[in-house]
Amino acid sequence: MFILYKVMMEILAPAGNLRILKIAIQAGCDAVYISGKNYGARKAAPNFSDGEMVEAIHYAHLRGKKIYVTINTIIFDNEFSELHEYLSFLSSHKVDAVIVQDLGVLSYIREHFPNLTIHASTQMNIHNERGAKTLLDLGVDRVILARETPISEIKKIINLGIEVEVFGHGALCYAYSGNCLMSYMIGGRSGNRGECAQPCRKKYQLLENNKPIGKMCSLLSMKDLNTLNYVEELEKLGVTSLKIEGRMKSASYVYTVVSTYKKALLKKTTIDAEDDLKVAFNRDFTKGYMFNEANHLVINTSSVNHQGLLIGKIKNISSSGCLLVVDKPLYVGDAIRIKGKEEIGFYINNLEKRGKDLYIPGRFKVKVGDDVYKTIDGVKTKEADNLLSEELYKLNLEFIISIYYGKELTLEIKYQNLKVIVKSILLNEKADKPLNEERIIEQLSKTGDKLFCASKIIVKYDHLAFVKISDINALRRIGIEKFIDTFIKEYSPNNSFINNHLANKNNEQVKKEQKIQFDFVVQNMEQYLWCKEHGYLSVFPVFDNDDTMYARHFNIQKNKALKNIVHNLGDMTPHQILSPTCNISNSYALKFADKTDADVIYLSNELSKNDKLALGKVTTNASKGVFIYGHMEVMTSKGCFISKLKNLNCINCGSCSHNNYKIIDEYDNEMFVNGRCNESGPEISIYSYKLFDELKNIKEYYKNGIDHFLIILTNETKEELGGLELKLEKYKG
């Protein structure tokens, strides 16, 4: 309704607190995404209290900016009452959109809060045209695409007419978003519940046929995304929003990245832009899967920490200090890290210029030739802090004041199509000496807030009435307060169009015969044949197969008519089996999934036994299932650390099909690894070192409406499979 300037492609900034939100807006972003104290995927960030969120919404809207609130975690049934109150609060305060992961939450919002705009979180793992089209038909306004989505697929999705948001800068998850259970498996800290302990930043040892390959290193740690050189291409393509990651990052980081990308969008990039981004934060940079980055350039196995910007080397050392030769600026207030055999880092408190070199007084454990990296820019930090004392935006208001004897003192304030009128005292005294109109204009110009500018002032004065300067000042203050209140009340986010193409499906429940069914996921042909030989017909190979398959992200299914196990909305077609990584964790999500005409819906692995039993009682056309035995799949990624460590930078190198792989963590826990390649590149799955065994609960699950049971095989021997067969024998038929 109130637009300050025409927005091109949106620059979307992160904010972990109110101060950083204000800095992001003053740095030039077009929208900010934030979280309340619950339901956000970054619980470790300070996040916003209800009062802070209201202030943030008002601050942004008055400056023509948008606020998106994350509800990007999975929700359990017992949380919907509290969630309802929170959604009501967000709706009443007119947030511009909510960012949603859980399909149940999406359904709930569409039913109870139809005017709330929904953005589908990257945690939904939408990576193709089909998934985006389904969301569009469900009334979702924007899809935040999976980071693995290539530019060719993004073009197709944009052509659907749905808003498209892509990650442009910041940290990358190793696993497909929403499909990572490693943190949950290790310590019960769920990434899908905002509690990720970042196991991907730990060190692991790769074993090939039980022999170590390379050293213990950061096998799963990704470089940071940087698409600064592709901003113009993304805008021309029709991308709606470019997202900057970092709700747990510093104010200086947010300021630097937002302002740098905004300049790039306005074609005002400076020559030191890349350097600024490196100093702000980087684990080395990659252009990412969106622009088909080579696999060996995506993973950073050497370090998980901020690298900074290489600015020079140690030239000389004395007992009183060290001499640096640098080719980049360095100032007092900056921080540096010196890397050699050892690393040290510190702020620069004292710096002397000696010719072309720089001298730092002090005693340091460094050596000649050690590299010097700049890790904090003191100037940028001060610039970020100073933004709060400035105001980038102006609301140009028109003031019309009426001063007539015998009438009330009146002020009319106009802005675009908004108009407010305030009145105060009755002017029933005549002036001995009327006020000068210039003095009246001067007083009205003192708005008391840099945001408001009295760009036009009209004085209607009969020069008879007596009026005090203090009365004019009070009227101005009251007028601006009423203007703000009216502005906020009349602000209206874009309304969604709701065209639920699934709404009329499956209205009639079809009674089906219930019997216990085992679905096997197998890693190799030997396991596949064993299952068939023992009468298990529902077998899904992870490897490519002309029969059934465990269809992963971007796998090209040769025969889409066949039944497969699928893992996200983009691969959901009728008569498929929905895997536990579809994150069906509440009755609303279960009912939604049932409308996709799935044959089997597996419940989330993150549910407790009692929660699974409760959902088992929900009436659905589809059968319901639970993971019952095996090593849980905890992480799947396009990043192939096998080829990275073996210096095999090509696709289809053959290593996966000819060797067996495991990774070992720092506590000597072994995790089975399945690697494979398909037409879209490599793919790696990691399985839990913990054996999950709930076979004893099969009958209880069955009595409560659950009749499908998922068994995942990894590297079991024939003897182990024989033992499993003995356990399963009593449940057959």
pLDDT tens sequence across 240-279: 999 999 999 999 999 999 999 999 999 999 899 999 999 9
Three-class DSSP category at 632: strand
207-197-552 Cα angle (round to 5): 60
What pLDDT, on the 0 to 100 scale, is given for residue 3? 39
What pLDDT, on the 0 to 100 scale, is given for residue 499? 44
Distance linking the first and last C-alpha atoms of the chain: 64
For residue 294, the Cα-to-chain-centroid distance in whole angstroms is 23
Residue 552: pLDDT band with limits 50, 70, 90? low
Residue 513: pLDDT band with limits 50, 70, 90? low
CB 583 within 8 A of CB 604: yes
For residue 285, the Cα-to-chain-centroid distance in whole angstroms is 18
Residue 696: pLDDT band with limits 50, 70, 90? very high
Question: Residue 658 and residue 145: Cα distance in Å, rounded?
Answer: 34
Q: How far is CA 566 from CA 190, 395, 569, 681, in A?
A: 21, 51, 9, 18
Question: Residue 136 and residue 120: Cα distance in Å, rounded?
Answer: 10
- Can you list the positions of beta strands (E) in 362-407? 371-376, 395-403
**Average pLDDT of span 556-584:** 80
Residues 6+ apart with CB under 8 A from 501: 134, 137, 138
Residue 161, pLDDT > 90, answer: yes
- Can you list the positions of beta strands (E) in 476-582? 517-522, 539-541, 565-566, 577-578
**Average pLDDT of span 171-197:** 88
271-274-275 Cα angle (round to 5): 90
What pLDDT, on the 0 to 100 scale, is given for residue 142? 98
Residue 135, pLDDT > 90, answer: yes
Residue 324, pLDDT > 80, answer: yes
For residue 692, the Cα-to-chain-centroid distance in whole angstroms is 30
CB 138 within 8 A of CB 110: yes
What pLDDT, on the 0 to 100 scale, is given for residue 554? 45
Residue 476, pLDDT > 80, answer: yes
What pLDDT, on the 0 to 100 scale, is given for residue 648? 78
Q: Which residue has the higher pLDDT, 187 or 594?
A: 594
What pLDDT, on the 0 to 100 scale, is given for residue 1? 34
Residue 83, pLDDT > 70, answer: yes
Q: Given the DSSP bridges, would you call strands 706-712 and 10-14 parallel, antiparallel or unpaired?
A: unpaired
**Average pLDDT of span 608-614:** 97
Question: Would you call 326 exposed, middle or buried from its count of C-beta atoms within 10 A (0-12, 13-18, 19+)?
Answer: middle
What pLDDT, on the 0 to 100 scale, is given for residue 42? 65
Residue 2, pLDDT > 50, answer: no
Lowest-confidence region among 317-326, 440-449, 669-678: 669-678
What pLDDT, on the 0 to 100 scale, is given for residue 573? 82
CB 623 within 8 A of CB 713: no
Backbone angles phi, psi at 144, to 5 degrees: -95, 105
User: Which tokens belong to 365?
Assistant: 């454990």
**Average pLDDT of span 288-297:** 90
Residue 589 exposure: Cα atoms within 13 Å on the Cβ side = 31
Element (H, E) at 585: none
Question: Residue 628 and residue 605: Cα distance in Å, rounded?
Answer: 10
What pLDDT, on the 0 to 100 scale, is given for residue 731? 85
Query: If you average pLDDT over every residue of the chain, what do you get?
Result: 91
Task: Give pLDDT tens digits for 413-435.
Answer: 999 999 999 999 999 999 999 99
Residue 708, pLDDT > 50, answer: yes
Please choose, from the candidates 672, 658, 653, the residue with its C-alpha nearest in 3D space to the C-alpha of residue 714: 672
Residue 503, pLDDT > 50, answer: no
**Average pLDDT of span 557-579:** 78
Residue 517: pLDDT band with limits 50, 70, 90? very high
Task: Give pLDDT tens digits for 50-69.
Answer: 999 999 999 999 999 999 99
What pLDDT, on the 0 to 100 scale, is given for residue 341? 87
Q: Which residue has the higher pLDDT, 407 or 296?
A: 407
Residues 6+ apart with CB under 8 A from 532: 539
Task: Give pLDDT tens digits for 525-543.
Answer: 999 999 999 999 899 998 7
Element (H, E) at 169: strand 163-170
Residue 714: pLDDT band with limits 50, 70, 90? very high
Residue 8: pLDDT band with limits 50, 70, 90? confident
What pLDDT, on the 0 to 100 scale, is given for residue 691? 95
Three-class DSSP category at 573: coil
Q: Given the DSSP bridges, would you call strands 335-339 and 343-347 parallel, antiparallel or unpaired?
A: antiparallel
**Average pLDDT of span 719-730:** 91
Residue 657, pLDDT > 90, answer: no
Task: Give pLDDT tens digits for 201-232.
Answer: 999 999 999 999 989 999 999 999 999 999 99
**Average pLDDT of span 69-77:** 94
Question: Could you give the percent of the chain with pLDDT greater than 70?
Answer: 92
CB 16 within 8 A of CB 53: no
Q: Which amino acid is at 142?
A: R
Residue 164, pLDDT > 80, answer: yes
CB 414 within 8 A of CB 472: no
